[in-house]
Structure 1
Amino acid sequence: MAKASSELIYLFGGDSPWQSRDWTSSDDRVRGGASKSHLTCLPFSSVAVFHGHLDTKTLGGAGFASQRTTSENRLWDISHYDGLELDIKETDGKRYTFILKDRLLPKSPNGREQSTVSWEYDFQYPEADEAKKVFIAWKDLKPTYRGREKQDAEPLDLKRVRRVSLMMRSFFGSQEGDFSLSITSIAATKISAGSSSWSPYRHDPDALEEKDVTWNKGERRQSFMAQGRAWFAWLCDIVY
């Protein structure tokens, strides 16, 4: 368990230094994709870099690359805090997803992980911006199961958080290629302790930007979104 003060507890960074052995890849290669991710802890630095390549051609427009924590026995009790703060040092302007899990199941007989509910938050800010601290309130974490939003999910158990993940995905074909996100720390914090209450761009899968696609008919739009959700659910079936 990371050291804590009354206002802040570091999950990674700060007084809980980043270590590469705490993270492992969970990419679309489990479904025949070609995306790759890495988490590199810079030597003599308190910064970790989540980076890699998001391939969307192999699987016909879908894809994801992610890093998740390795230990299945690790628990974080962050119930006395108001949310999480990501101290971002540098980014490429792309959208990323932060994920928490409070439940893990034993692997199935074929060695694959069994799906459980994931709590997700999407964020983005322009590449040219200065470093920012992204605050994620508990209420803003969205429960999903196999890539689909789960309306009837039980509340996130903040006393028993089991896994932390960082993900890069295509968001229905709107991004691909190399990516890089440098993070100084991930910490649970109280609102009064945060140095910033900045609200990042929050992706709404039901409201694509005009730059992504122009729709002539509502039916066409709904069909496209249904296909995108089906692709991502299929990809996430065994890892999320």
Structure 2
Amino acid sequence: MGIKPKLLFGGDLKWNASDWTASDDRVRGGKSQSYLTPIPTDTALAEFHGHLDITALGAAGFASQRTTSATTTWDLSAYDGINLSIEDGDEKMYTFILKDELLDPDPESGRERASVNWEVDFRVPERKVEEEEEEEEVVVVDGKGRRKEGRAGAVYMPWKDFKPTYRGREMKDVEKPIDLESIRRVSLMTRSFFGTQEGDFSLTLRSIEAVTVDKEGEDGCVSAEKTGGDGEDQCSDPDPGNSIRKRSEELGGGMTAQQQPSQSWLQWIWARCFKR
């Protein structure tokens, strides 16, 4: 049998605010602030939200939430990547981060020492609108009674897309790949990308899970090639409703992080100066 998705946060596990803590640019004198708040009316959902400031640190702001446990270890070696199920979000660029090493605190300052991050940048897919709804504005309200931003879907991030960084800079000469047998920390971040984005942000998540994919990209399955067989792909759940593509369609969109269009400097300047 194939391997079912491994739920890390959300869904049936529900979200717990005590599992997360802020790691914002305030540690460097910045003014950004982030929160991870379970939705009171639906504990299967949690909102990563706050304010991204670029005034205090010269356009170098960041706001993030990371897991609090220093003892939890996830073995994700049997899986092919991470799937984020996103209920609602804005147009900002976000970053998903994994760590496979936590260093002991600095003996003099007591602060945690920096180690390598493995990260992927992504945007929330645009929500699909049915043809009969296109002529009128569709107002969707979340668990807090607020209007949703119009973006939702699934974002799949295969391991090959995770880039090693150290203190925000990509590392080109990493000696070893990410240790998927010993993932120690999960983080969500939004940052200014040198002043190209700022202000309030909001990302409502349903779940974070590790998934396997078959040759056509459906989770919950292991391809015959991977299992060493020559027959059909093996799936732990034959229900096609469990596929990444199916769930993306239900939420209104979905793609891998690398398939998402990037914004050029010219596009950003045009949007900032002429589309207000």
Return the TM-score normalized by structure 1. Answer: 0.81
Residue of structure 2 in register with 1:111 after alignment: 110
Deviations 1:191-212 (A, max 9, x none): 13242261346587xx843123
Conserved 8 A contact 2:124-2:152: no
Given the alignment of the two structures, is residue 198 of structure 1 paired with residue 255 of structure 2, yes or no? yes
Alignment partner of 1:90 out of 81, 88, 91 = 88
TM-score scaled by length of structure 2 = 0.71
* % identical equivalent positions: 52
Aligned residues: 208
1:34 is aligned to 2:31: yes
CA change 1:132–1:95 in 2 (3 A) is same
Which whole-Å CA distance do the structure 2 matches of 1:195 and 1:145 have between them?
31
Q: Residue by residue, what CA displacement relative to the aligned partner does 1:119-157 show, whole Å, maximum 9, x if unpaired?
A: 010001356555211000000001001111112222101
Q: Which residue of 2 aligns with 1:74?
A: 72
Contact 2:126 2:152 in 1 (8 A): no
Distance 1:208 1:105, change over 3 A: same
> Are residue 147 (structure 1) and residue 144 (structure 2) matched?
no
Further displaced range: 145-154 or 46-55: 145-154
1:138 aligns with 2:159: yes
Segments of 4+ moved more than 3 angstroms: 125-130, 200-204
Segment of structure 1 superposing worse, 184-193 or 125-134:
125-134
Q: Is the 8 A contact 2:82 2:158 kept in 1?
A: yes
| Equivalence for 1:234 | none
Cα deviations across residues 157-210 of structure 1 (Å, max 9, x unaligned)? 111000000001001111000000000000000113242261346587xx8431
Match of 1:8 in 2: 5
In 2 relative to 1, CA 170–202 (structure 1 residues): closer, same or farther, beyond 3 Å?
A: farther
CA displacement 1:25-46 (0-9 Å, x = unmatched): 0000001100000000112411
Q: Superposition RMSD on alpha carbons, in Å?
A: 2.0
Partner of 1:209: 265
User: Is the contact made by 1:101 and 1:161 (CA closer than 8 Å) also made in structure 2?
Assistant: yes
The 3-state SS of whatever aligns with 2:206 is strand
1:230 maps to what in 2?
Answer: none
* Structure possessing the higher radius of gyration over alpha carbons: 2
Residue equivalent to 1:220 = none
Secondary structure of the residue aligned to 1:139 is helix
Please give the per-residue CA displacement for 1:57-114, whole angstroms capped at 9, x wherever unaligned: 1112110000000001010011101101000000011110000000000110202111
Equivalent residue number for residue 221 of structure 1: none
Query: Is 1:180 the counterpart of 2:177 in the alignment?
Result: no
1:58 is aligned to 56
* Counterpart residue number, 1:157: 179
